[in-house]
């Protein structure tokens, strides 16, 4: 769906009139976006615009739906009219748009695009970044309909699913909600792991982080969260684990493992900074968490299983752990 205005969705001030306000953007919601959240609709339409700017416009009341102030979680209806000021972008954001960074494609069909994301690549803009993998994918492929189905932390590598169609998005979102998606991770953790199998079931709740953003904490009033752990190999200075996420809470694996005394190596948010620095000097650099396997059903009923090999940094880290 195209905005009624024919000018670009991103503009810069006119040199002849630096104080001129850019014209507003107006969208009319089509039937294909009926019941979609307002924030998801705008993040897709305003490709390349920093995520935090889109949310700020909603927070301060600059986004109107049918003449009324609109909230991010508001569900849209076909025929709704959305009006907002045309966002302006700084030089950094424009530079990122000119040089988009994509990840290798692990799988693609008519409904899904699965990336094998490297560590260090943000999934979406925000937290100081104006551009991420999803914005780059929309720009390079010229497909504004691309939507994230789930997320990976910036420093986590591995398989990431993007929906190409609304049918694919709703189909996979339902499986995620009902536990129909199998997600397996590989992690290198500190300490000596006891036993071969373990299941961590600690409720998690999101709270504001001191440095901005959000973090998860173990709390009695938190939501259900379960992680199944299997020991692959014990090394002198740490353990190599396979993890199955039975629920999908924010930072779930990282918080669960840290809470039982085995933080993931390289985890600066939930782990030991002193221990991370020590291991980094020995060759263990970066967050040692990799989304290694995904299994879910396609809309046609076929079961899809995808596997991603751990990056080279895991091999270097394992060698360092074995030497210590």
Q: In angstroms, what CA-CA distances link 13 with 19, 45, 53, 74?
A: 7, 21, 17, 31
CA gap 74, 29 in Å, rounded: 13
Residue 223 makes CB contacts below 8 A (sequence gap 6+) with: 203, 204, 205, 247, 249
Contact 76, 35 (CB under 8 A): yes
221 is catalytic: no
- Catalytic residue from among 39, 80, 116, 153: 153
Contact 310, 156 (CB under 8 A): no
- For residue 206 the two structure tokens come to 């999101």
Q: Is the dihedral of CA 185, 143, 127, 278 positive or negative?
A: positive
- Burial letters 253-281, b for 16+ CB under 10 A, else e: bbbbbbebebbbbbbebbbeeebbeebee
- DSSP H helical ranges for the chain: 38-45, 51-59, 91-98, 133-141, 166-178, 252-259, 273-282, 312-323
DSSP helix/strand/coil, 160: strand
Catalytic residue annotation: 153
């Amino acid at each position: 769906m195209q905005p009624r205005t024919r000018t670009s969705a991103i503009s810069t001030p006119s040199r002849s009139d630096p104080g001129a306000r850019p014209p507003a953007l107006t969208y009319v919601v089509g039937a294909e976006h009926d019941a979609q959240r307002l924030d998801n609709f705008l993040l897709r339409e305003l490709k390349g615009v920093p995520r935090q700017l889109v949310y700020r416009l909603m927070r301060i009341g600059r986004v109107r739906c049918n003449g009324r102030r609109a909230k991010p979680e508001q569900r849209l209806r076909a025929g709704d009219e959305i009006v907002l000021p045309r966002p302006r972008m700084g030089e950094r954001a424009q530079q990122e748009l000119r040089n988009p960074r994509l990840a290798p494609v692990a799988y693609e069909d008519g409904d899904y695009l699965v990336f094998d994301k490297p560590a260090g690549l943000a999934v979406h803009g925000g937290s100081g970044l104006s551009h991420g993998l999803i914005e780059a994918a929309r720009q390079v492929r010229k497909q504004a309909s691309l939507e994230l189905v789930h997320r990976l932390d910036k420093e986590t590598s591995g398989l990431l699913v993007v929906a190409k169609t609304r049918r694919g998005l709703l189909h996979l979102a339902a499986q995620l909600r009902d536990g129909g998606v199998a997600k397996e991770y590989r992690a290198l953790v500190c300490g000596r792991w006891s036993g071969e199998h373990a299941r961590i079931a600690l409720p998690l709740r999101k709270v504001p982080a001191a440095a901005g953003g959000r973090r998860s904490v173990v709390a009695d009033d938190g939501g259900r969260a379960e992680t199944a752990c299997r020991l692959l190999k014990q090394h002198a200075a740490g353990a190599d684990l396979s993890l199955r996420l039975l629920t999908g809470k924010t930072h779930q694996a990282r918080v669960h493992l840290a809470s039982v005394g085995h933080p993931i190596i390289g985890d600066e948010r939930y782990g030991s900074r002193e221990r991370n620095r020590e291991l980094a000097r020995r060759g263990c650099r970066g967050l040692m968490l990799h989304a290694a396997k995904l299994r879910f059903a396609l809309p046609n009923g076929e079961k899809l299983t995808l596997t991603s090999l751990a990056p080279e940094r895991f091999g270097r880290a394992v060698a360092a752990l074995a030497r210590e």
